[in-house]
């Protein structure tokens, strides 16, 4: 079993095939610093490399998920850096790493997810929200346009009219409304969040990891191409999936009328 790498500002824990990244600045509602987004990116690279890790959970310590960019740091970008540079070196890499990781990512949204914190939550493959969670597209409240992939993800999840409304007004969306909008998969009582997420994460971590990764690739591709191209890409993914051990095990288990034992290979 691999040991868990140590980072400052985030906690990184690996157990039973599940890596948990906990944003860990609870007194600042886990507002994101440059150091923190670098640590998250390093943790995601470990998740990509390590075959023992078959599912990733991202959550926040304390009462918040993440309040987005730390606004005290935003005021102190290095000389000569534009905010665009900061985004290109930080959040853009982080959001793309989440998008490209061929393993499932669950955001366990324990509290408020604002600005770039909303971007991180929306870039996960699934969101399980505590009933205490809320979603705040905080950008416009400080005169900014969306970043961290929020323009891309929010309109795909909630539709363009709702995305515009939320991004243009900055209105807070509570957990139950987020569920009706399709922003989250499930809302659970705060005290049940950890167990609900753990159960789902363990289930995914025991699944056919390569098939799940190829599913993620197919969905990502289908979001931006024509039907003909999506069909062709599905065929390519299936050519890969059919050669996995887990495919063989799935068929064998079906024929033998027993539960499959997937290994991720």
- Enumerate binding residues for ligand T3D (CB under 6 A): 28-29, 31, 67-72, 74, 83, 86-87, 90-91, 112, 114-116, 136, 138-139, 142, 144, 147-148
Give the tokens for residue 156: 């795909």
48 versus 140: smaller Cβ distance to ligand T3D: 140
**DSSP string for residues in 185-199:** SEEE-GGGHHHHHHH
Q: What is the distance between the alpha carbons of residues 185 and 125, in angstroms, rounded to a whole number?
A: 10
**DSSP string for residues in 134-190:** EEE-GGGGGT----TTHHHHHHHHH-HHHHHHHHHH---EEHHHHHHHTS-SEEE-G
138 versus 201: smaller Cβ distance to ligand T3D: 138
To the nearest whole angstrom, how small is the minimum distance from the Cβ of residue 146 to ligand T3D?
8
- What sign does the CA torsion over 106, 100, 248, 228 have? positive
DSSP state of 16: T
Task: Spell out the residues 6+ positions from residue 82 whose beta carbon is closer than 8 angstroms to its own.
Answer: none
Q: What is the distance between the alpha carbons of residues 156 and 173, in angstroms, rounded to a whole number?
A: 17
To the nearest whole angstrom, how small is the minimum distance from the Cβ of residue 239 to ligand T3D?
40
70 versus 246: smaller Cβ distance to ligand T3D: 70
98 versus 237: smaller Cβ distance to ligand T3D: 98
In 3D space, the residue among 174, 182, 124 whose CA is nearest the CA of residue 148 turns out to be 124
Which element (helix H / strand E) includes 75? none
- Pairing mode of beta strands 10-15, 18-23: antiparallel
To the nearest whole angstrom, how small is the minimum distance from the Cβ of residue 1 to ligand T3D?
35
168 versus 242: smaller Cβ distance to ligand T3D: 168
To the nearest whole angstrom, how small is the minimum distance from the Cβ of residue 237 to ligand T3D?
33
To the nearest whole angstrom, how small is the minimum distance from the Cβ of residue 136 to ligand T3D?
5
Report the residue number whose CB is nearest to ligand T3D: 115
To the nearest whole angstrom, how small is the minimum distance from the Cβ of residue 30 to ligand T3D?
9
54 versus 86: smaller Cβ distance to ligand T3D: 86
């Amino acid at each position: 079993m691999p040991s868990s790498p140590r980072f400052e500002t985030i906690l990184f824990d690996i157990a039973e095939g599940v890596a948990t990244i906990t944003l860990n600045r609870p007194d600042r509602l886990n507002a994101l610093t440059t150091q923190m987004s670098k640590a998250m990116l390093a943790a995601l690279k470990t998740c990509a490399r390590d075959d023992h890790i078959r599912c990733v959970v991202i959550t926040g310590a304390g009462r918040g998920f993440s309040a987005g960019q730390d606004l005290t740091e935003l005021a102190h970008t290095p000389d000569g850096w534009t905010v665009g540079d900061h985004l290109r070196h930080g959040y853009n890499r982080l959001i793309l790493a989440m998008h490209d990781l061929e393993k499932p990512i669950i955001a366990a949204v324990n509290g408020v997810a604002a600005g770039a914190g909303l971007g991180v939550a929306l870039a996960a493959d699934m969101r399980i929200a505590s009933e205490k969670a809320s979603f705040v597209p905080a950008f416009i409240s400080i005169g900014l346009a969306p970043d961290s992939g929020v323009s891309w993800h929010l309109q795909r999840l909630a539709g363009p009219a709702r995305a515009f409304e939320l991004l243009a007004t900055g209105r807070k969306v509570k957990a139950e409304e987020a569920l009706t909008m399709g922003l989250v998969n499930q809302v659970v009582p705060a005290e049940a969040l950890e167990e609900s997420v753990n159960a789902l994460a363990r289930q995914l971590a025991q699944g056919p990891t390569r098939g799940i990764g190829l599913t993620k690739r197919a969905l990502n591709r289908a979001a931006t191409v024509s039907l003909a191209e999506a069909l062709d890409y599905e065929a390519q993914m299936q050519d890969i999936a059919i050669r996995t051990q887990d495919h063989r095990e799935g068929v064998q288990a079906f024929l033998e009328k027993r539960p499959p034992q997937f290994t991720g290979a």
